[in-house]
Amino acid sequence: MTSDLHAHLRRRKPEKRRARLVRRPRETLGSIADLSRQPQPALLLDTNIYILNASGRLPGTVAACLDRSRLFHCSVCLSEIAAGIANAALTRGWSTIRDHYATVFASIPTSRLLVPDAATWIDAGLVAGTLARLQDFQREQRKECLNDALIFLTAARAGLPVLTADRADYDLIQQLAPEGRFFSFDL
């Protein structure tokens, strides 16, 4: 399999982006209120949704929306969760956290697990690299942005919006990849 970098560059045009992006007003972006009006939305969950849910910090309106939604999952999110579990291995309560997420992972149907393909990886790299340059991201921010871009573009390729608590970063990603959608909420 070959990948045509020139085609991806023509599509994303990172060289034409020179100005720092500005976050858009909250009211102009998709919110949980917009999502609540849909009878059975299909959503791809961002990593922070799993974490907020596990910690009991997911707002009630969001939890209610999840209960009636068709949920899709991304291998990138599962990887982020796995990294967090391994990083916390020596902390108190680790076995409880491990067991919780093992149950969550086991409950995900294969048909609802989305994996980024080579084209998505390339596009995500271009989006993340452009944002890193425009927004002066530090090393850790660049890694997080790449993962978020992978999640966002994987969802976009499947025709799904992302549900996230990270409005700020997904707003910037969507400005460079307008084909995707996301819904966010305040904590």
Burial of 172 per CB tally in 10 Å (0-12, 13-18, 19+): buried
| pTM confidence score | 0.95
Give the pLDDT of residue 36: 81
Query: 30-58, pLDDT tens digit by residue?
Result: 888 888 888 899 999 999 999 999 999 99
Judge whether 17 lies within some domain: no
Query: 119-160, pLDDT tens digit by residue?
Result: 999 999 999 999 999 999 998 999 999 999 999 999 999 999
Judge whether 15 lies within some domain: no
Judge whether 24 lies within some domain: no
The domain tally of the chain equals 1
Give the pLDDT band of residue 187 (cuts 50, 70, 90). Answer: confident
Give the pLDDT band of residue 175 (cuts 50, 70, 90). Answer: very high
Looking up residue 167, the CATH number of its domain turns out to be 3.40.50.1010
Judge whether 100 lies within some domain: yes
Give the pLDDT of residue 99: 97
Judge whether 68 lies within some domain: yes
User: What spatial distance separates the first Cα and last Cα of the chain, rounded to whole Å?
Assistant: 43
Judge whether 10 lies within some domain: no
Q: Which domain holds residue 121?
A: 29-184
Judge whether 11 lies within some domain: no
What residues contact 25, with CB distance under 8 A and at least 6 apart? Answer: none
CA distances from 169 to 21, 135, 165, 182 (A): 11, 11, 10, 11
Judge whether 117 lies within some domain: yes
User: Rounded distance, CA 55 to CA 50, Å?
Assistant: 9
Cα-trace Rg, the chain: 17
Backbone angles phi, psi at 182, to 5 degrees: -150, 155
Question: What does DSSP say about strands 42-45 and 162-164: parallel, antiparallel, or unpaired?
Answer: parallel
User: Rounded distance, CA 154 to CA 173, Å?
Assistant: 13
